[in-house]
Amino acid sequence: MKRNNGFLVPSKIDIRAILRHKGYSWKYIKEHEDKYNCFIHLIVRIQALSFSADDYNGFSIINYATLRAKHLKSKTQEIIRNLIKWGIVICDGIFLPRKFAEEQGKEPKSYGYAIAPAYMSKVVLRSVYKEEFSANLEKLRTEELPKNKAARYIFRQLGQVGIKKAVFKYIDTKLQKSVGYLENSDFRLYLANQEALNLYEFKEGVEGTLQELISMLFNHYNADMITATSIYNEDFYVTLGRKEGNITGRLYHNICSLSRDLRKFLYHKRHRSEELVNLDIRNSQPLFLNILLKQEFKDKPVPADVQHYIDLTSSGQFYEFLMDQLRIPREKRKKFKISMFGKIFYCTTHYSIRQVEGKLFRSIFPNVAAFIEKKKGNNDRGHKALSLEMQKAEADIIIGQVVKKLQRRRKFVLTIHDSTVVLKKDAEEAQELIKRVFMQETSLEPTINIESLAPSLTESTLLPVAA
């Protein structure tokens, strides 16, 4: 595999020039320039690959002990302090040691770091100055690879994936279009049209100055650029998902972090003419709750509302049913789906019962709602425990069964959380396999859509870029 061991850092941050301006000697610069760039690279990489930033208001959570042991050595504190003092990096100031966190019933947390808005800009590649630092980065990649067989098989399959160079022009064009629209229109108009115009999207409720909003657009851009660059340079990783300190069983890798609209640029190196397809389980997360419901009602009669829920999720009509009840247009399905997660499954009971969606769900599915509320309990972290159980149920089937069976058949396969990517020629075989595994494990047959990663390879689908 080809590697590019440079650091991806925002273009406004030139560490060598900054250190010279601050009066540091050439000896100091040569000795420690890589360490400064490494810390900045880790911040933007963690944010880009969504390891923690989404859960911590855009801050990348970086463990100090790991940083000191594996990357910055004795200069760790000095480098962090300098970058904060110079206004290049900001810290969230929140640190919860394990012992204190457990006493408070909370999750342990290291400090979070982010690039200051004034320095947020397009990422560029900064070369590694010292060869031993480059070798250390390569060694860390190998050490961090999970030991289980499915993870290592996925890692080998990633080596068969390439991404077209046109992706970089597409990303640049999307940023230019997004910034231009933001600067020349009302922010409410931007929010109303962001999905239809294929702009970088802001989450609901986001506010800020123009500079802060543009900084957020650069965060999106850099996430796309870093992920696409890692695939292009064959800089692959596979890591086990964790939640609340527990392993969920999910596998995270470069393709999981790639934005949905960039997947059309992916191809299989040995089968370039063969289409890649995604096997998408409809209503997948509500469906995986069925596994827990089946366990709950294993030895007792299944209430009518529970059976209704099971039937809807198995047939892939759960979201459409609720949208019809709330008179929400079908074209808003994507936004509604996200909203449902946040207002029924992945939130506290106290919050859910006060939402329109939560009230509707409880009225139609009272026994399902009661089961969810029992699983969540009365503490603020209960909904995370339910999420963990659902993700484990998902991983047991997708990773523990489907991937392993496809591996035995020597099929190309990648997972994107609860969906599966295969070559088009293997799609029907993989689809039947997934259905069979579900039937064996749950006595349920899911609805599975076969979706092309590149629904159209014509220029019209790619913004104004060449094919």
pLDDT digit string (tens) for 292-333? 898 888 888 999 999 999 999 888 899 999 999 999 998 888
In-domain check, residue 222: no
| Same domain (yes/no): 282, 138 | no
Q: pLDDT higher for 370 or 64?
A: 370
What's the token pair of residue 101? 């966190």
Q: Is the pLDDT of residue 463 over 50?
A: no
Domain boundary among 144, 159, 188: 144
Q: Is the pLDDT of residue 434 over 80?
A: yes
In-domain check, residue 392: yes
Domain boundary among 114, 144, 174: 144
Q: Is the pLDDT of residue 456 over 80?
A: no
Using alpha carbons, select from 454, 121, 456 the residue that is nearest to residue 263: 454
**Confidence at residue 78, expressed as pLDDT on a 0 to 100 scale:** 94
In-domain check, residue 350: yes
Domain boundary among 144, 162, 195: 144
| Same domain (yes/no): 286, 427 | yes
| Same domain (yes/no): 291, 440 | yes
For the chain, percent of residues with pLDDT exceeding 70: 87
In-domain check, residue 63: yes
Q: pLDDT higher for 360 or 466?
A: 360
- What average pLDDT does the segment 226-246 reach? 78
In-domain check, residue 1: no
**Confidence at residue 462, expressed as pLDDT on a 0 to 100 scale:** 39
**Confidence at residue 137, expressed as pLDDT on a 0 to 100 scale:** 63
Geometric angle at alpha carbon 44, from 462 and 133, rounded to 5° = 120
| Same domain (yes/no): 445, 296 | yes
**Confidence at residue 451, expressed as pLDDT on a 0 to 100 scale:** 93
Q: What does the alpha-carbon distance between residue 137 and residue 133 come to, in Å, rounded to a whole number?
A: 6
Q: What does the alpha-carbon distance between residue 421 and residue 391 come to, in Å, rounded to a whole number?
A: 18
**Confidence at residue 144, expressed as pLDDT on a 0 to 100 scale:** 61
Q: pLDDT higher for 269 or 134?
A: 269
Q: pLDDT higher for 76 or 388?
A: 76
Q: What does the alpha-carbon distance between residue 454 and residue 265 come to, in Å, rounded to a whole number?
A: 7
Q: Which residues, 6+ apart, have CB-to-CB distance to 96 below 8 Å?
A: 104, 106, 107, 108, 109
**Confidence at residue 30, expressed as pLDDT on a 0 to 100 scale:** 92
Domain ranges, residue 371: 276-452
**Confidence at residue 417, expressed as pLDDT on a 0 to 100 scale:** 84
In-domain check, residue 236: no
- Over residues 101-133, the pLDDT tens digits come to 777 667 778 899 999 988 988 888 888 888 777
Residues 338, 346, 155, 125, Cα dihedral to 10°: 70
**Confidence at residue 459, expressed as pLDDT on a 0 to 100 scale:** 37
User: Helix, strand, or coil here: 142?
Assistant: helix
**Confidence at residue 165, expressed as pLDDT on a 0 to 100 scale:** 94
How many domains does the chain contain in total? 2
Q: Considering the chain, what is the average pLDDT of its residues?
A: 85
**Confidence at residue 54, expressed as pLDDT on a 0 to 100 scale:** 44
In-domain check, residue 245: no
**Confidence at residue 74, expressed as pLDDT on a 0 to 100 scale:** 86
User: Helix, strand, or coil here: 71?
Assistant: helix
Phi first, then psi, for residue 39 (nearest 5°) are: -65, -45
**Confidence at residue 6, expressed as pLDDT on a 0 to 100 scale:** 80
In-domain check, residue 211: no
- Ranges of H-type helices in 194-317: 210-232, 254-257, 284-296, 304-315
